[in-house]
Amino acid sequence: MNTEKGLVYALLLLFLLQISEQTVVWVANRERPISGTSGALSIDSDGNLVLHETSGSFLVWSTNVSSVLSNYSTTAQLMDSGNLILVQDFSERVIWQSFDYPTDTLLPFMKLGFKRKTGLNRFLTSWKSPEDPTPGNCSYRIDPTGYTQLLLYKDGVPYWRAGSWTGDRWSGVPEMTRFYIFNISFVYDPDEVSIMYGAINASITRMVVNESGSFRRSTWHDQDRRWIEFWFAPKDQCDFYGNCRPNSNCNPYDAGQFECTYLPGLEPKSPTDWYLRDGSAGCTRRGGVSVCRSGEGFLRVARVKVPDTSKARANMSLNLKECEEECLRDCTCTAYASAIDTRTYTDSGQDLYVRVDAIELARHRKTRSLSQKAMVAIIVVSILTALLLAGFLYGLVIKKRKGCNGIYVVVLETDRRSHNPQVSDMTSSTYFNGPQCVKDRSDEPRGNRDVPLFDLSTVASATNNFSVLNKLGRGGFGSVYKGVMDNGMEIAVKRLSKHSGQGVKEFKNEVRLIAKLQHRNLVRILSCCVEEDEKMLIYEYLPNKSLDTFLFDSRLRIIHRDLKASNILLDAAMNPMISDFGGYMPPEYAMEGIFSIKSDVYSFGVLLLEIISGKRNGAYYNENPSSLVGHAWELWKEGNCEDVIDESMGDSCTKEEALRCIQIGLLCVQEFADDRPDMSTVVFMLANKDVVLASPKRPAYVFKSKHHGANLSANDKPASRNDVTISMLEGR
């Protein structure tokens, strides 16, 4: 019963009688209510089920199936499923059923869909209001155009799309599975397209389209005597149909970020509106590119709801490769129509293959994983953090040793019976003990003496007597040679310069630290040689040289205190390893001899700027009155940091990522150590793009040179005693 505008309307209603709460599931005459207080339901002379007003003079509703009844009598039955049926008595054939004419509720074993031959279309329509069952403005139906999909309409336009059928669920309902509460039967043949839900157990369930445009599923809880709602749609902004408009993807999981993203090879039609978080204009293909027989291909967009398929073609006989070939032959094939109503899911969804031009395809192949430069930067930060921690712990151990008074020497123990040790024979009787206090020498465990000592003849034989052909390069304290041992093992021999006053100190430093701090990200030291006036370190050989070989157009040797690009070696798999402890010296060490955990932060900042710019720190002396650090700082103040970015970076990372790295680099090279972030913070800033970065302060060593192009050294001595940077040009 419904009261409206002073009139009383009586309707034929079906209730779920098994439950205590009165629940309407079907209305016969929702479009023609009875004007009065009551009506009469009967079977008329032609066998139809009819509803009249009490007077019987006015027909309100009828099953209207007289054409198939002939002269046989009929019977109306209400089934346990809630289906009201009209049965022909002679044949017991169901000639009409309420399940073919649903209202706002879908019950188990009720079908949604259409029959192609008869034109019967079963769909849900909401009530006008919670008290008025008159047809409302929301409907839930299968779309007969293109490839079958299920949509919720509001005011005649798509409001939420359940998606297309994937074989066990609708693509827009990832939480729905074949055996989740329902047994699902999907029919797709030349005569019928329909979906039917069958309840797995005896529970009473229903699905309802309400007047607000929400589709809700609930089940009756007998103990609590109430309906329990367990699912509804739409849920979030990305569920609303076409929220991000054509050729866009909606991702609701990036908190605080604009949910709309453009698909590969596309760009916003209106960048200004897009920046203001207005995606109503959608996206379009980048200008000046062709995707028609011009080397184009497909890129995979994972875990998404397949876009609107109303204009899509489906061929179930093709596999994925054949589908790709079919699409390539048709220049109008863009993947799935115009890609309207695409969204991302966290742990489900399907793979969408989007057609892109050759340039976008090449760009994607280069950036499928993290770019090599970005990956190297992140790995180097991690290495430095681990190295600093290990060095700190090692320093604590050394400091606590008794009776040493802070003085340590290198102690070598030699068994004269062996003069030809091999790297593979770690039982050699000649060992390097590493640094130890002379006073405690007798207490040193023999098991710690694990670095074999090579004699000079063995090293000379391995390097062809230090042949120029075996020379790998020169460092600040000598030359590096490649060698091959008798057993075939390749080694790298660092031969310290005889003329360098810093040679012995560097030798002790490198042996002391690297021998004791063996780590997978440090170049492994295998042995050493101290004989006559020769001091040599033997390392594992890494075939890809150093990082600066890949960053710079020519090789510039920089003698410093801490990390630099040429001290980061790359193995065959391009994994970086730290090989030395001579690089970019922070100002507090140069001026006051103070060395802290922030010193490596400074060194990394310079390295990061080198990676992004593709130039070394001293490369600007001939073209700009500032170092790379100073040049980047000046451009930062002017708002022109884009000029720092290496042109080749455009293919491996976005401009925003490069600018962020520049800002992090400038934060690392600030003049005062207290202003610099620690290494763990640097790692966090690099790994989390949403973190807001502070504005950097003035870096160290920003100066104006009065001698552009002047030689940095007035003579050609093989080494320098100067503690400040000395840069030398040397061909690769």
Q: Note whether 88 and 82 are within 8 A (CB).
A: no
**Stretch(es) of the chain classified as CATH 3.30.200.20:** 401-541
What is the pLDDT averaged over residues 484-494? Answer: 87
Q: What is the predicted pLDDT for the residue at 648?
A: 76
pTM over 0.85: no
Q: What is the predicted pLDDT for the residue at 17?
A: 54
Q: Note whether 589 and 525 are within 8 A (CB).
A: no
Query: Regarding predicted confidence, which is higher, 253 or 556?
Result: 253
Q: Note whether 340 and 304 are within 8 A (CB).
A: no
Question: What is the tens place of the pLDDT at every residue in 380-395?
Answer: 788 888 888 888 887 7
For residue 192, name the pLDDT band (cuts at 50, 70, 90).
Answer: very high
**Stretch(es) of the chain classified as CATH 1.10.510.10:** 372-388+545-732
Reply yes or no on whether the pLDDT at 548 is more than 80: no
Q: What is the predicted pLDDT for the residue at 520?
A: 58
Does the annotation place 115 within a ligand binding site? Answer: no
Q: What is the predicted pLDDT for the residue at 337?
A: 41
**Lowest-confidence region among 224-228, 470-474, 490-494, 715-719:** 715-719
Contacts of 254 (CB under 8 A, 6+ apart): none
Return the structure tokens found at 409: 């020497």
Q: Note whether 188 and 148 are within 8 A (CB).
A: yes
Active-site residue numbers?
562
Question: What is the tens place of the pLDDT at every residue in 281-314?
Answer: 888 888 767 778 777 888 888 888 888 888 887 7
Q: What is the predicted pLDDT for the residue at 509?
A: 66
For residue 562, name the pLDDT band (cuts at 50, 70, 90).
Answer: very low
Reply yes or no on whether the pLDDT at 3 is more than 50: no
What is the pLDDT averaged over residues 683-702? Answer: 82
- How far is residue 12's CA from residue 255's CA, in Å, rounded to a whole number? 49
Cα 510–511–517 angle (5° rounding)?
Answer: 90
**Lowest-confidence region among 288-302, 361-375, 645-659, 679-693:** 361-375
Reply yes or no on whether the pLDDT at 98 is more than 60: yes
Q: What is the predicted pLDDT for the residue at 325?
A: 85
For residue 438, name the pLDDT band (cuts at 50, 70, 90).
Answer: very low
Question: What is the tens place of the pLDDT at every residue in 578-615?
Answer: 555 445 677 776 666 676 777 788 888 888 888 888 88
Reply yes or no on whether the pLDDT at 344 is more than 60: yes
Domain 401-541 has CATH 3.30.200.20: yes
**Best CA proximity match to 108, nearest among 14, 194, 184:** 184
Contacts of 261 (CB under 8 A, 6+ apart): 244, 248, 249, 250, 251
Residue 727: Cβ within 10 Å count:
16
CA distance readout (Å), 247 to 118, 187, 238, 243, 286: 37, 30, 14, 11, 12
**Phi, psi values for residue 355, rounded to 5°:** -75, 130
Q: Which CATH architecture has domain 372-388+545-732?
A: Orthogonal Bundle (1.10)
For residue 167, name the pLDDT band (cuts at 50, 70, 90).
Answer: confident
Query: Regarding predicted confidence, which is higher, 441 or 16?
Result: 16
Q: What is the predicted pLDDT for the residue at 517?
A: 60
**Best CA proximity match to 606, nearest among 588, 624, 632:** 632
Q: Note whether 568 and 562 are within 8 A (CB).
A: no
Q: What is the predicted pLDDT for the residue at 529?
A: 83
The DSSP result for 650-676, as a single string, is GGTS-HHHHHHHHHHHHHHTBSSGGGS
Query: Regarding predicted confidence, which is higher, 498 or 427?
Result: 498
Query: How many C-alpha atoms does 520 have within 13 Å on its Cβ side?
Result: 3
The counts of H helices and E strands in the chain are 12, 42
- How far is residue 630's CA from residue 236's CA, in Å, rounded to a whole number? 48
Q: What is the predicted pLDDT for the residue at 561?
A: 43
**Phi, psi values for residue 559, rounded to 5°:** -95, 120
**Lowest-confidence region among 455-469, 545-559, 685-699:** 545-559
What is the pLDDT averaged over residues 310-331? Answer: 82
What is the pLDDT averaged over residues 57-70? Answer: 78
- How far is residue 632's CA from residue 647's CA, in Å, rounded to a whole number? 15
Q: What is the predicted pLDDT for the residue at 504?
A: 59
- How far is residue 546's CA from residue 579's CA, in Å, rounded to a whole number? 9
Reply yes or no on whether the pLDDT at 143 is more than 90: yes
Cα first-last separation, the chain: 93
Reply yes or no on whether the pLDDT at 553 is more than 50: no
Complete edge-to-edge strand list for the sheet that includes strand 132-143: 124-129, 132-143, 149-154, 157-164
For residue 104, name the pLDDT band (cuts at 50, 70, 90).
Answer: very high
Query: Regarding predicted confidence, which is higher, 192 or 36?
Result: 192
For residue 575, name the pLDDT band (cuts at 50, 70, 90).
Answer: low
- How far is residue 83's CA from residue 563's CA, in Å, rounded to a whole number? 79
Question: What is the tens place of the pLDDT at every residue in 39-62?
Answer: 888 888 888 898 888 766 788 899
For residue 446, name the pLDDT band (cuts at 50, 70, 90).
Answer: very low
The proportion of the chain whose per-residue pLDDT surpasses 90, expressed as a percent, equals 15
What is the pLDDT averaged over residues 391-407? Answer: 58
Q: How far is CA 385 from the centre of its chain?
A: 24
Q: What is the predicted pLDDT for the residue at 246?
A: 85
Reply yes or no on whether the pLDDT at 412 is more than 70: no
Helical H segments across 233-369, by residue range = 271-275, 320-329, 358-366
Share the mean pLDDT of the chain: 74
Query: Regarding predicted confidence, which is higher, 563 or 678?
Result: 678
Query: Regarding predicted confidence, which is higher, 578 or 658?
Result: 658
The DSSP result for 517-572, as a single string, is ---TTBPPEEEEEEETTEEEEEEE--TT-BHHHHH-SSEEEEE-SS--GGGEEE-T
Contacts of 447 (CB under 8 A, 6+ apart): none
Reply yes or no on whether the pLDDT at 160 is more than 90: yes
**Best CA proximity match to 618, nearest among 720, 723, 722, 712:** 712
CA distance readout (Å), 73 to 42, 70, 99, 701: 13, 9, 22, 104
What is the pLDDT averaged over residues 425-450? Answer: 36
For residue 5, name the pLDDT band (cuts at 50, 70, 90).
Answer: very low
Per the document, the length of the chain is 732
**Lowest-confidence region among 239-248, 477-486, 576-585, 644-653:** 576-585
For residue 402, name the pLDDT band (cuts at 50, 70, 90).
Answer: very low
Question: 165: which DSSP letter?
Answer: B
For residue 451, name the pLDDT band (cuts at 50, 70, 90).
Answer: low
